[in-house]
Amino acid sequence: MDKHVIRLLDCTLRDGGYVNDWRFGASNIVNIFERLVSAGMDIIEVGFLDERRAFDPDCSIMPDTDAVQKIYGSLDKGTSMAVGMIDYGTCGIDHIASASQCCLDGIRVIFKKQKMHGAIEFCHRIKELGYKVFAQAVSITSYNDGEFEELLGLVNGLNPYAFSLVDTYGLLHKKRLMHYYTVADRMLNPDIGLGYHAHNNFQLAYANCVELMENPPKGRMLLVDGSLYGMGKSAGNAPTELLAMYMNEYGDKHYDSSQLLEAIDVTILDIYRQIPWGYNFKFFLSASHDCHPNYVSYLMDKQKLSVKSVHEILDMIEEERKLLYDETYIEELYVAYQKRFTLSDENAEERLKERLSGKRILLLGPGGHILDEKEKVYEYIGRNRPVTIAINFMPKDYPVDYLFISNAKKYVQLSSAIAGMRDGTQIIATTNVTKTNGSFDFCLGYSSLLDEQALIVDNPMIMMIRLLSGFGIGEIALAGFDGYVTSKTFDYTNPNRDHSFDPKKARELNADVERSLLRIKNLAKLSFITTTCYRLPENGEYKEIR
């Protein structure tokens, strides 16, 4: 392996910044940079150039090259090359001084497939300013062969210092990586370096880098990206210290690994303890479906779906939309998926109506106040002898006549509690929940209970109230429905999970629930026994039962 063919680029100060909003602190920025220089790193990426951000000496995202000069201009680069990065469209050419007026040796430009023509033209202008230009094709897996060859033709016309394959969502296994790599090596002008930027969704970032370093292009520079301790958004990157160790062992390089480890120990680990990154379940799911990780986050955050259901919804995403996150689109798929299930008990509503009509109903929710205010709940039960319906949880402290389950994930979590239910407790389930064996006592159509005008169309409290409103119920009391609050809130069903919302979002969700109540026809009289954020639609507040 020719030691001059392969060069390592550290992108901690740029890609690592996604973790902490680039707020490393002025001293840490200098320490990281100087440690990388002392380690003999070939290329150091010092941060983003983004005109939308004001200058801040504590941040490695900078509005222009003048800001770069203020932070890095007095530092010794040693034998290292310093580069910055521009996400095409976020920093105009008027914010870039000529290379002779800046400490940067080069600028890397990242761009998505649909912007490749404009981005390559922008790269021409950067090159005219005297910088080494790096063209970075993000989401390389979004290119088919024809589109990739078109891009390589544009790159040849630019003749940049290097062109890099960017595996933005960590989707590449070796075979697919080598396909892009081989095509690029075959088609690019011989003096254009070929680079690779990995992400670790499949725990393959380091392994894929090693694969390329063991098979470097003949007569062409290979550029491999890494970051200290793998610091980077989502699953993180290939660790620079591992790449350096490998090159020292097998590539006749002499990087000073102790300097890299000092930077990790002094700076990076402190950040990691506060905001960890790296391989995790969510990023595995997104990579396994070749889709944007926000789709997985959206579905998992609902806390209503089994992993099997998440898989099936991700499979419904159209190929061309997998890497272009659209919240409205994934919500439509979620609702469509839940509606696929058909009503399995046509007489369920009639049978329930016969049992509940004219009765007092007490709905039990999982909010923390159902524990804090037990006395109120016990007093109400003792005085009124209501029919009790628990919503998506099974309380140990209260008698339960019916358990309502509209959440497939909660059903799985409640399996042991359901197995131990006292005789007489029956299960009301919606058709999106599948029983492990046999059938539920009452199975209701999921879609018939939705409020499709709401932000959360399948709020279980609203679903049950909608159902009961058609039964001629005179009064519905509620306990443990705390509403959405800004502080962390105890969850009765899972003490290890806290919920918290920013004030604006909490107010928005509470108001949305109140609007849902206004839309319910034949709305029964509602009263909250325990403390709640919700207010009665009629007069602005709920009457507390005594």
The pLDDT of residue 315: 92
Q: What is the pLDDT of residue 65?
A: 98
For residue 39, pLDDT over 80 is answered with: yes
Short-list 180, 543, 528, 172, CA closest to 370:
528
Bridge partner residues of 194 (DSSP): 163, 222
> Which DSSP string do the residues of 358-386 spell out, in sequence order?
T-EEEEE--BTHHHHTHHHHHHHHHHH-P
Nearest to 534 by CA among 492, 485, 486: 485
Give the H/E segment covering residue 387: strand 387-391
The answer to whether the beta carbons of residues 151 and 116 sit under 8 Å apart is yes
Q: What is the pLDDT of residue 13?
A: 98
Place of tokens 């999106």: 432
Q: Which residue do the tokens 């034949």 mark?
A: 522
Displacement of CA 268 from its chain's centroid (Å): 22
User: Does the pLDDT at position 496 exceed 80?
Assistant: no
Tens digits of per-residue pLDDT, 63-85? 999 999 999 999 999 999 999 99
Question: Could you write out the three-class secondary structure of 88-123?
Answer: CCCCCHHHCCCHHHCCCCEEEEEECHHHHHHHHHHH
Backbone φ and ψ of 251, nearest 5° = -120, 10
Average pLDDT over residues 185-214: 96
Between CA 262 and CA 274 the distance in angstroms is: 19
Percent over 90 (pLDDT), the chain: 66
What backbone phi and psi angles, to 5 degrees, belong to 161?
-65, -40
Q: Lowest mean pLDDT: which of 21-30, 33-42, 347-356? A: 347-356
Mean pLDDT of 166-171: 91
**3-state SS assignment for residue 500:** coil
Predicted confidence at residue 501, as pLDDT, reads 64
Lowest mean pLDDT among 87-96, 231-240, 333-342, 409-418: 333-342
Q: How far is CA 546 from CA 285, 371, 392, 400, 474, in A?
A: 49, 17, 26, 21, 17
Question: Which residue bears the tokens 């040796």?
Answer: 105
Instruction: Give the tokens for residue 347.
Output: 């007489």
| CA–CA distance, 281 with 250 (Å, rounded to integer) | 33
Per-residue pLDDT tens for 362-391? 999 999 999 999 999 999 999 999 999 999
Q: What single string gives the DSSP state of each residue in 185-228?
A: HHHS-TTSEEEEE---TTS-HHHHHHHHHHSPPTTS-EEEEEBG
> pLDDT tens, 111-149?
999 999 999 999 999 999 999 999 999 999 999 999 999
User: What gap in Å lies between CA 334 and CA 309, rounded to an integer?
Assistant: 9
The residue length of the chain stands at 546
Calculate the average pLDDT of the chain.
Answer: 90
DSSP letter string over 478-517?
EES-----SS-B-BTT-TT--B---HHHHHHHHHHHHHHH
The alpha-carbon radius of gyration of the chain (Å, integer) is 29
Q: What is the pLDDT of residues 300-329, one digit of tens each?
A: 887 777 777 888 899 999 988 988 899 999
Task: Answer yes or no: are the C-beta atoms of 170 and 200 closer than 8 Å.
Answer: yes
Q: Please provide the DSSP assignment of 224-256 as one string.
A: EEEBGGG--STT---BHHHHHHHHHHHS-----
DSSP 491: B
442-444 and 81-87 strand pairing? unpaired
Say which range, 13-27, 143-157, 189-203, 480-494, has the weakest mean pLDDT.
Answer: 480-494
What is the C-alpha to C-alpha distance for residues 324 and 320, in angstroms, rounded to an integer?
8
- Residue 373: exposure state from Cβ atoms within 10 A (0-12, 13-18, ≥19): middle
Give residue 334's pLDDT.
87
Residue 397 pLDDT > 90, yes or no? no
Q: Quote the percentage of the chain above a pLDDT of 70.
A: 93
Residue with tokens 């680029």: 9
pTM given for the model: 0.68
H/E stretch holding 47: strand 43-49
Cα first-last separation, the chain: 82
